[in-house]
Structure 1
């Protein structure tokens, strides 16, 4: 059996309704896992879960606002009840609001902190509670947090987004240390995706042009490609394959790590 075979594993993917999250959910199901998609986008999330089921996967949807503590508790319990456990948690939900530092809006800053930092923190909290011995699932497992190449480079227009993704790096490492020290049996890692032409990635390019950093969205994307040794933007499957790896037994002795999936941009 391949080390990447996730048959029998149960996963929750936050922000899984569309974009990178939907791609991660699909990749996990193709590796054999049952998947619950958690998202505030209920119709899109239900459609994505339905499409996965139509393709033969075991997939469900649960409404999840990652900034709400009680909502997390309920979503984890619904996940365990609907697919029989929880072995993999992918903290993917996130927001990016482009701005020059001189134009930062406190409301935008709070939103990014709430979704990207608080959301990941609550995911770790409730994921640990479920997967540790005595929890609702109780068999250990793996958490994969989605950071960003923005945590490793200085790119104009994304200061607060970069700060929140840097925070995810630290959360990942401390969580891995706590899990090991306390015997939870949960590995915690993160990936640093490069710019990917999803809805969020395309909007970032458009926003960078709008605030005057580049003459056009295409020029913004070309600037990123120019900084990337592999000479192209990332694709969803590049990121999703890395998540499957970190969730699998092929990574059984890896925890507290941040894996760049950025074509070399952040090296």
Structure 2
């Protein structure tokens, strides 16, 4: 189940965190993996550990995406799966965030997804045409892209955009006859570097360096009784990338410990 034998997957922002866990899992279930990131040292280290390709990738730059795709195609000859994982967090409100901070959030979380999709599209069209269930794109959204956020309205806006971009491209590619499935995944709060950044921002807003209250508050928001870990999300991504999800497109897979059930 959820095997990726013979498939080639490209993951952005995969040097660590959810992306790193997904790269590891994909390699373990048969995929050949290309990792793109700006974090060169951890990216190269991970690639060496799992026998993957690492390429430097700034997701906000079209030329960087083009070079990354060229490198992956030279190495593997095709592309079956794109995981638009790269993202940044900004816990500031509408009044507190600067315009530069907003522009950076949009550049990574939205423009990066659009550019990645555009760069991968011709290669996914080609491989999808000969695959029983087509090629696959998996976009990293968030529970913040499904429900409102009292504390993170700008981040929520970008992830809401990813949610609807996923649905819209699924419809567009279906209408055009492309055999490319497009789905999104919506994590709750995950215990990664980005999760720790969230707790630190919450603590700073309360005038303290103690992140434990913010962490405990986040745990209480998840009825399952714990925070998620990167592997929880990686398993969902692998499912969406595999032929086991062959009748899914335009869908959002929620992996949030019950966060949005309340």
1:264 pairs with 234, 241, 258, which one? Answer: 258
For 1:155 and 1:168, how far apart are their aligned partners in 2? 16
Contact 1:214 1:220 in 2 (8 A): no
| Structure 2 unmatched ranges of 5 or more | none
For normalisation by structure 1, the TM-score amounts to: 0.92
Please report the RMSD computed on the Cα atoms of aligned residues, expressed in angstroms: 1.8
Structure 1: give runs of 5+ residues left out of the alignment: 54-58
TM-score by length of 2: 0.94
Given that 1:206 and 1:217 are in contact with CA atoms closer than 8 Å, whether structure 2 keeps it comes out as: yes
Tell me which of 15, 20, 29 is aligned to 1:31. 29
Structure 1 residues 214 and 255 mapped into 2: Cα distance closer, same or farther (>3 Å)?
farther
Q: Any idea what SS the aligned residue of 1:101 has?
A: coil
Distance 2:171 2:150 in 1: 33
Task: Report which stretch shifted further, 203-212 or 123-132.
Answer: 123-132
* Deviation for aligned residue 1:134: 8.8
Match for residue 188 of structure 2 among 184, 194, 204 = 194
Bigger shift: residues 219-228 or 115-124: 219-228
Following superposition, the deviation at residue 214 of structure 1 comes to 8.3
C-alpha distance in structure 2 between counterparts of 1:206 and 1:90, whole Å: 27
Provide closer, same or farther for how the CA distance between residues 85 and 181 of structure 1 changes in structure 2, counting only shifts above 3 A. Answer: same
Cα drift, residue 60 of structure 1? 0.7
Aligned residues: 259
Give the Cα separation in 2 of the matches to 1:240 and 1:218: 26
Match of 1:223 among 214, 217, 220: 217
User: For 1:180 and 1:36, how far apart are their aligned partners in 2?
Assistant: 26
